[in-house]
Amino acid sequence: MASLLESEIKKQVASAFKGVLLSGTLRRVASTTVDSFGDLVPGTATTFSFEGIRESFNAAYAADAGIPVTDIKILIIAGLLDTDPIKDDQILIRGQWHKVRAILERDPANATHVLQCFEIVDPT
């Protein structure tokens, strides 16, 4: 459970950035069945609006960390998203779809999420 201080910081950060950053859509596809090969069968997609920032990794950092040069960072303001992002979520920002490769960090107040993503074709 979030502490009062943590939830208050999350609200303040969301309030300060609302309407200032890029608008985006997070798309999550739930799967509850598997096909004859054991692969998950895509289910219904749920979408959530958010606000955040799309940015590149520092080239030296990416090279040292083994991050593909095509990957990007997406920072999401947690208080402006109705769910926590998870690996394999799909994100539309600046007219381009991306898939979440990893959750890089959540700040101590749980006010932001930093995601490592790669570009994908329009999943819809």
Taking CB atoms within 8 Å and a gap of at least 24, the contacts of 96-103 are 97/121, 97/122, 97/123, 98/72, 98/74, 101/71
Q: Any idea what the Cα angle at residue 29 is, between residues 26 and 32, rounded to 5°?
A: 155
| Model confidence, pTM | 0.85
Mapping DSSP to helix (H, G, I), strand (E, B) and coil, where does residue 100 land?
A: strand
**Per-residue pLDDT at 6:** 74
- Domain-embedded: residue 124: no
- Domain-embedded: residue 115: yes
Mean local confidence (pLDDT), 68-94: 95
**pLDDT 10s digits, 20-71:** 999 999 999 987 788 888 887 878 899 999 999 999 999 998 999 999 999 9
26: domain CATH number is 2.40.10.270
Q: Which domain holds residue 86?
A: 4-119
Count of domains forming the chain: 1
How many Å apart are CA 76 and CA 110, to the nearest integer? 11
